[in-house]
């Protein structure tokens, strides 16, 4: 296995002072990084897409686990450090300079792939939504292993009735298994962010039949947009929703956070494509 310099040295050598605008909070503890790289399961010769490799801490852990990594990084300052890593793992690391929000990930990868990332907080939810909300299912990716702010991670894995249950939970769970895989203390990052973090692991499951993802999204947007209101009020603007609730036996006095994911799915099915 390649003998790599400590990440602190890499950062010093290439002058990678953390940029707040790019959401840069680096992980330097290699044991922690190896634990994160184990979350997706066996990676030997698997294709992995990493967003935001930065100085390459998670990247080297994924490479050590045997993965073939494609990494998209927006900060050109990181490219020389990543080029050195690519040299240490010949043929195993491809680095794309660019904005991950502008890239078609499935086309870039061209084969089934796992996604692993210590996400830049400023684009994390937008990327997650994009990976989760496509109509085609299963998606091109086989699993997501993602570091989020703890509060966002809690919203992704939330159960009905809890204060954190909302659109993200329904999006993450209606056709996938979403688990909180690891809590990470803020002090593990350089520089430490203000909040705690957690790694979420998501694996696609069978999609319920006859559901349009956009219809479900429209319902949850309306329902949780006014989460304190009764559904009779919050779903007033969604045509057919009140009749569908009645036919499904969902009381109009209920609030969004009391509806199970199965009930949201049943509503979307009853409304059909629109």
Compute the least distance from the CB of residue 67 to ligand SAM, in Å: 14
CA–CA separation, 227 vs 262, rounded Å?
18
Contact criterion met (CB below 8 Å) for 270 and 248: yes
Pick the closer one to ligand SAM by CB: 10 or 176: 10
Compute the least distance from the CB of residue 191 to ligand SAM, in Å: 11
Q: Which of 10, 11, 51, 245 binds ligand SAM (CB under 6 A)?
A: 51
Q: Which of 61, 113, 120, 238 binds ligand SAM (CB under 6 A)?
A: 120
Pick the closer one to ligand SAM by CB: 120 or 166: 120
Contact criterion met (CB below 8 Å) for 171 and 133: yes
Q: What CA–CA distances, in Å, run from 11 to 2, 20, 28, 53?
A: 18, 16, 10, 12
CA–CA separation, 54 vs 254, rounded Å?
46
Among positions 63-82, residues that touch ligand SAM (CB under 6 A) are 72-75, 78
What are the tokens at 64?
């050590």
Please give the full DSSP string across 30-70, using - where no structure is assigned. HHHHHHHHHTT---TT-EEEEE--TTTHHHHHHHHTT-EEE
Pick the closer one to ligand SAM by CB: 22 or 242: 22
Pick the closer one to ligand SAM by CB: 54 or 166: 54
26 lies in the site for ligand SAM, by CB under 6 A: yes
Stretch that binds ligand SAM, among 20-28, 133-141, 167-175, 196-204 (CB under 6 A): 20-28
Q: Which of 101, 195, 214, 248 binds ligand SAM (CB under 6 A)?
A: 101
CA–CA separation, 204 vs 143, rounded Å?
7
Q: Which of 40, 52, 139, 166 binds ligand SAM (CB under 6 A)?
A: 52
Would you give the end-to-end CA distance of the chain in angstroms? 55
Pick the closer one to ligand SAM by CB: 8 or 274: 8
- Which residues are within 8 A (CB) of 94 and not within 5 positions of it... i.e. 6 or more apart? 69, 70, 71, 86
Q: Which of 4, 14, 22, 160 binds ligand SAM (CB under 6 A)?
A: 22
25 lies in the site for ligand SAM, by CB under 6 A: yes
Which positions touch ligand SAM (CB under 6 A)? 22-27, 51-54, 57-58, 72-75, 78, 99-101, 118, 120, 123
């Amino acid at each position: 296995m390649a003998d790599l310099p400590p990440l602190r040295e890499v950062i010093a050598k290439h002058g990678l002072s953390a940029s707040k605008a790019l959401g840069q909070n680096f992980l330097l503890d290699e044991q922690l990084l190896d634990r994160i790289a184990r979350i997706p399961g066996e990676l030997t010769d698997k294709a992995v897409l990493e967003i935001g490799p930065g100085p390459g801490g998670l990247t080297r852990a994924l490479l050590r686990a045997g993965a073939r990594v494609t990494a998209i990084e927006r900060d050109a300052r990181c490219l020389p450090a990543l080029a050195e890593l690519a040299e240490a793992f010949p043929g195993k690391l491809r680095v794309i300079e660019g904005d991950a929000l502008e890239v078609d990930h499935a086309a870039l990868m061209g084969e089934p792939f796992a996604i692993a990332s210590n996400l830049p907080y400023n684009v994390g939810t937008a990327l997650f939504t994009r990976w989760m909300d496509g109509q085609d299912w299963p998606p091109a990716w086989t699993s997501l292993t993602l570091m989020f702010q703890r509060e966002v991670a809690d919203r992704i894995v939330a159960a009905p009735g809890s204060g954190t249950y909302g659109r993200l939970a329904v999006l993450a769970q209606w056709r996938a298994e979403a688990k909180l895989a690891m809590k990470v203390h803020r002090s593990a990052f350089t520089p430490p962010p203000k909040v705690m973090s957690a790694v979420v692991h998501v694996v696609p499951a069978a999609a319920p039949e006859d559901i349009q993802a956009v219809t479900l999204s429209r319902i949850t947007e309306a329902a949780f947009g006014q989460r304190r209101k009764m559904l009779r009020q919050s779903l007033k603007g969604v045509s057919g929703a009140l009749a569908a609730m009645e036919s499904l036996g969902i009381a109009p006095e209920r609030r969004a956070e009391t509806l199970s994911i199965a009930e949201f799915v049943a509503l979307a099915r009853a409304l059909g494509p629109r």
